[in-house]
């Protein structure tokens, strides 16, 4: 049994992460699951009740056993790296509080994994996606709604959660939007005329009253539009267009960044527009650009191959 004091300490650590570091709710949930999984393993590995003092007794052997156990049960290298990061953070916090040496945990190396590059759509594919989604609409207002959502992703670089969080108070769209993104990070995003026009057409046709404090995007029964519905609509459109499964709503945001970079956009400015906390996250788009250039080179260069 995991001692209540240890569970309480975990909850206090997570609360501190949220208040001080501004970690997103999904990150908090994932970290809690990761650490509880680790503590559950320790309980079985040690074979007795698990209290706060057990963390001070951790060895590299125990840590390696846990990591091997996680890989054996099918956890990916990426997920294990995240879990190890959560465990390190919690143990380091406990070590500072209780005064023990956490070196055996902190010295553990994360498993190596290859970061997945963003998979943007080509410019003509992005335009075709908007046209196809409009054609698939069950009614004029639904078609206008879906076009407006995807235009916000592609034209403003919003995450789907950010687009669906817009309320009646945001309409008509101003020249710039103040967006609260992951971890409560705030940014100001310029709104292109095409996005304002798409939103204006949707709000004009929408059969439901768009109250100031309520979500502006609605499902066919008037409830807030779910991200899953947008994903399903794009899945139908990409099937018609013959696009790969990577052509998702988030790919529209990737396309926004990549096409800005293609046009000579500054990486720091793109970081701000996307709301990335770290420039290294945004730099993934330069890798996409380089990868695409290499594909062109391999195909077209007379000396290639």
Domain ranges of the chain: 4-106, 123-299
Q: Are 274 and 282 in contact (CB under 8 A)?
A: yes
C-alpha span between 144 and 205 (Å, rounded)? 8
Q: Do the two domains 4-106 and 123-299 of this chain adopt the same fold?
A: no
78 is catalytic: no
45 is catalytic: no
- Cα(45)–Cα(263) distance, integer angstroms: 56
pLDDT (tens digit per residue) in 125-142: 888 999 999 999 989 999
**Residue with more model confidence, 92 or 43:** 92
Q: How far apart are CA 86 and CA 80, in angstroms?
A: 10
Q: Which of 145, 196, 253, 254 is catalytic?
A: 253
Specify the range with the lowest mean pLDDT, choosing from 138-142, 227-231, 292-296: 292-296
The larger pLDDT score, comparing residue 105 to residue 266, is at 105
Q: Is the pLDDT of residue 282 over 50?
A: no
Known catalytic residue: 182?
yes
**pLDDT band per the 50, 70, 90 thresholds, residue 23:** low
**Active-site residue identified among 23, 145, 238, 276:** 276
User: What radius of gyration do the chain's Cα atoms show?
Assistant: 24
Indicate which residue of 69, 119, 182, 201 is catalytic: 182
Kindly state which CATH superfamily the domain 123-299 is placed in. Intergrase catalytic core (1.10.443.10)
Instruction: pLDDT band for 239, please (50, 70, 90 cuts).
Output: very high
Q: Choose, from 145, 159, 196, 218, the residue flagged as catalytic.
A: 159
| HEC sequence for 110-178 | CCCCCCCCCCCCCHHHHHHHHHHHHHHCCCHHHHHHHHHHHHHHHHHCCCHHHHHCCEHHHCCCCCEEE
Query: Quick one: pLDDT at residue 259?
Result: 59
Q: Active site includes 88?
A: no
Q: Tokens representing 111?
A: 């498993």
Q: Kindly state the percentage of the chain with pLDDT values over 70.
A: 78
Q: Is the pLDDT of residue 298 over 90?
A: no
Concerning whether 301 is annotated as a catalytic residue, the answer is no
pTM given for the model: 0.56
Which of these is catalytic: 31, 154, 202, 285? 285
Per CATH, the number for 4-106 is: 1.10.150.130
From the list 23, 218, 238, 250, the catalytic residue is 250
Residue 50 burial by CB count (10 A; 0-12/13-18/19+): exposed, middle or buried?
buried
Burial label, 238 (beta-carbon count in 10 A; 0-12, 13-18, 19+): buried
């Amino acid at each position: 049994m995991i001692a209540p004091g240890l569970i309480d300490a975990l909850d206090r650590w997570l609360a501190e992460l949220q208040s001080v570091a501004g970690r997103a709710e999904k990150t908090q949930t994932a970290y809690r699951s990761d650490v509880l999984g680790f503590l559950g393993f320790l309980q079985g590995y040690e074979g007795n009740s698990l209290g706060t003092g057990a963390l001070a007794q951790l060895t590299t052997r125990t840590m390696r056993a846990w990591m091997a156990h996680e890989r054996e049960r099918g956890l990916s290298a990426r997920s294990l790296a995240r879990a190890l990061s959560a465990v390190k953070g919690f143990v380091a916090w406990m070590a500072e509080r209780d005064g023990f040496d956490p070196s055996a945990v902190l010295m553990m190396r994360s498993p190596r994994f290859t970061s997945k590059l963003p998979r943007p759509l080509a410019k003509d594919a992005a335009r075709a996606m908007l046209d196809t989604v409009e054609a698939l609409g069950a009614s004029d207002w639904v078609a206008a709604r879906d076009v407006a959502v995807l235009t916000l992703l592609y034209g403003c670089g919003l995450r789907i959660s950010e687009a669906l969080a817009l309320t009646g108070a945001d309409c008509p769209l101003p020249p710039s939007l103040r967006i609260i993104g992951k971890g409560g990070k705030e940014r100001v995003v310029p709104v292109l005329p095409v996005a304002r026009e798409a939103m204006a057409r949707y709000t004009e046709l929408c059969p439901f009253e768009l109250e100031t404090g309520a979500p502006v995007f609605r499902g066919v029964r008037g409830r807030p539009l779910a991200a899953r519905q947008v994903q399903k609509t794009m899945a139908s459109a990409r099937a018609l267009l013959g696009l790969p499964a990577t052509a998702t709503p988030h790919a529209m945001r990737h396309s926004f960044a990549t096409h800005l970079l293609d046009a000579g956009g500054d990486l720091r400015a793109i970081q701000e527009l996307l709301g990335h906390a770290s420039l290294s996250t945004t730099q993934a788009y330069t890798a996409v650009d380089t990868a695409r250039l290499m594909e062109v080179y391999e195909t077209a260069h007379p000396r290639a191959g």
